[in-house]
Amino acid sequence: MYQAPRGTNDILPEDWPYWRYLRDQIERLASLYGFERIDTPIFEVTELFERGVGEAASVMVEKEMYTFTDKGGVSLTLRPEFTAGVMRAYLEHGMRVRPSPVKLYSIGPIFRQERPQAGRFRQHTQWNLEVLGEMDPAVDFEVMSIAWQLFEDIGFRGLSFQLNSIGCPRCRPAHIQALVEHFSAHREKLSDVDKRRLELNPLRLLDSKEPAAQPLLDRAPRSVDFLCDECREHFATLRSYLDGAGLPYTVNPRLVRGFDYYTKTVFEVWAEGIGAQAAVCGGGRYDGLIELLGGPPTPGIGFGSGIERLILTLKAQGVVPPPLPRPLVQVSYVAQGEAGRAVKQAAVHLARELRRAGIGALLPFGDRSLKAQLKAADRQGVRYVVILGEGELAAGQLTLRDLAEATQQAVARDDLIPWLRRRLDQA
RNA sequence: GUGACCAUAGCUCAAUUGGCAGAGCACCUGGUUGUGGCCCAGGAGGUUAUGGGUUCAAGCCCCAUUGGUCACCCCA
């Protein structure tokens, strides 16, 4: 028996209301804020994803990438993130000559070869958003705002917005050095995992879950205390916008990023009740990235939000998405005896006629008993059953049964569509 | 990648010290001619995840593989 590969999921029909709901809301907000959709390939040349993340991170990251060589000998990788591909497209199509800033969003699958756990899969879907070409902290505010509004509009409660500033290449080195000094002084108290972090990626010590590290973390140097004038000003202005809008957030000095290209603003949104992988949105500013990818110096900021985690949160909070439209009419038939063929024929054509008139209709197959047809209609949530038999056919009439009211009446064949329209419009 | 727990019908779960693989729900059919929900009866549905091993005998014990769940690592 075949099974879906580890960490992949089928989206079954019963889950589609959630997906449709989120996509509709995302698209509505994107156009409200003036974001345009871009779709980039699901795979890119591997090098694109290796550039820029930083030396330490690059080794780690390669282990989690789905990399393969195509028949032309080119190394390709299923995208582990959106940002690199979108930056590539921005450069490749000369988008910097478009009205600035360029505001783009994407929705699609992301691939990372990780061990699955609650809210973490090898293929998952992200809503991704980028603003390119603008340093103004008002952009940071706008990017956070749109995420905020989505969560508000879909009825999320109890979310926690985490905010920090990790500085820029000018001010960060001093912070890192202070961190290294702080933790090196207590090196023997650190776990093996944290000792490795100390060497490879000291910033990551700040969000360590190791119990041994917790006492040291309280007194650890905070990035906000090392910001240069520009970064401090940027952070203060962003906070003034957030405060002015009354958006509640927590300044979290332990909120960091694993990759070198991040600058200034970082933020995450955490949800309760969906396990250890609680971030439903994570983003930040990356003013150095485009340059790393070979483009002109261009500021950028964006976030990614995992749709599967959003759906987990919707379910955990009991949010019920609007149902998908279904046919409310069924064309049933009694296809028995000599006249059966003509009756079936008429039913097949009637179903088509209803659908062409924009009325959703089901047609039972297999010439099953009327009883079975009605039972199926009931199960599928049909409201009106059009019953067609030998008698109706001869009289140019139809029997119309209302399943909710348990009543039925004769309707002239020619009056059927107006009759149904009248009822369906009310419902 | 590491660790713990787990895998029996589409779903939720039973199956005595190792001794003929079951129930509920869902699905299909019927309960006299063309009428749903409730009820009753019947049917279909399984190589017990896969491959080995131990045994007279394995759903049950052992090994491996695959997958699941949760946490760690990592987090773009």
* Residues A350, A247: Cα–Cα separation, whole Å: 56
- A62 vs A154, which has greater pLDDT? A154
Of residues A30, A57, A289, A276, the one with CA closest to residue A142: A30
* Nucleotide minimizing C1' to CA distance for residue A388: B34
Strand ranges, E, within A6-146:
36-37, 43-45, 66-69, 75-78, 102-111, 123-132
Give the residue whose CA sits closest to B74 at C1'. Answer: A60
Which pLDDT belongs to residue A58?
75
Helix (H) or strand (E) holding A153: helix A137-153
Give the residue whose CA sits closest to B28 at C1'. Answer: A372
Length A89 CA → B22 C1' (Å): 60
Q: What would the two tokens of residue A260 be? A: 């070198």
Radius of gyration of chain A (CA): 29
Q: Tell me if A200 sits within 8 A of A56, measured CB to CB.
A: yes
Q: How does the average pLDDT of chain A come out, rounded?
A: 94
Q: Tell me if A187 sits within 8 A of A198, measured CB to CB.
A: yes
* Nucleotide minimizing C1' to CA distance for residue A378: B36
Q: How confident is the model at residue A336 (pLDDT cuts 50, 70, 90)?
A: confident
Give the residue whose CA sits closest to B26 at C1'. Answer: A379
Residue type for position A377: A
Bases on strand B under 7 Å from any protein CB: 1-3, 26-31, 33-37, 49-50, 66-76
Q: How confident is the model at residue A57 (pLDDT cuts 50, 70, 90)?
A: confident
Which pLDDT belongs to residue A427?
65
Mention every residue, 6+ apart, whose C-beta is less than 8 A from residue A201: A56, A57, A258
For residue A251, the cross-strand partners are A163
Q: Where are the alpha helices (DSSP H) in A172-306?
A: 172-184, 192-200, 214-218, 229-245, 289-292
**Straight-line distance from the first to the last Cα atom of chain A, in angstroms, rounded to the nearest whole number:** 45
* Residues A158, A359: Cα–Cα separation, whole Å: 42
Q: How confident is the model at residue A273 (pLDDT cuts 50, 70, 90)?
A: confident
* Residues A64, A185: Cα–Cα separation, whole Å: 33
Q: Tell me if A286 sits within 8 A of A300, measured CB to CB.
A: yes
- A339 vs A37, which has greater pLDDT? A37
Q: Is A354 exposed, middle or buried (0-12, 13-18, 19+ CB in 10 A)?
A: buried
Strand ranges, E, within A286-374:
300-306, 329-333, 361-362
Q: Hey, how many other C-beta atoms are within 10 angstroms of the C-beta on A103?
A: 23
Q: What percent of chain A has a predicted confidence (pLDDT) above 90?
A: 90
Residues A33, A299, A269, A23, CA torsion sign:
positive
pLDDT per residue over A206-235, tens digit each? Answer: 999 999 999 999 899 999 999 999 999 999
* Nucleotide minimizing C1' to CA distance for residue A77: B76
* Nucleotide minimizing C1' to CA distance for residue A262: B76
Q: Hey, how many other C-beta atoms are within 10 angstroms of the C-beta on A183?
A: 24
Number of helices (H), then strands (E), belonging to chain A: the values are 15, 16
**A330 Cα distance to chain centroid:** 35
* Nucleotide minimizing C1' to CA distance for residue A303: B76
Length A1 CA → B55 C1' (Å): 28
Return the residue matching tokens 């108290």. A189
Task: Name the DSSP letter for residue A76.
Answer: E
**Which of helix, strand or coil describes residue A266?**
strand
* Average pLDDT, integer, range A395-409: 95
Q: What would the two tokens of residue A416 be? A: 């059927």
For residue A335, pLDDT beyond 90: no
Question: In angstroms, what CA-CA distances link A72 with A41, A47, A337, A391?
Answer: 18, 16, 64, 69
Q: Tell me if A390 sits within 8 A of A343, measured CB to CB.
A: yes
* Average pLDDT, integer, range A274-281: 94
Q: Is the pTM higher than 0.90?
A: yes
Which pLDDT belongs to residue A28?
98
* Average pLDDT, integer, range A276-292: 94
Give the residue whose CA sits closest to B29 at C1'. Answer: A372
Q: Tell me if A49 sits within 8 A of A293, measured CB to CB.
A: no
Q: What angle do CA A15, A272, A235 make, to 5 degrees?
A: 115
pLDDT per residue over A153-209, tens digit each? Answer: 999 998 999 999 999 999 999 999 999 999 999 999 999 999 999 998 999 999 999
For residue A124, the cross-strand partners are A110
For residue A55, pLDDT beyond 90: no
Length A7 CA → B62 C1' (Å): 29
* Nucleotide minimizing C1' to CA distance for residue A65: B76
Of residues A184, A301, A176, the one with CA closest to residue A226: A176
Length A5 CA → B45 C1' (Å): 26
For residue A71, pLDDT beyond 90: yes
Q: What would the two tokens of residue A31 be? A: 């156009």
Which pLDDT belongs to residue A426?
76
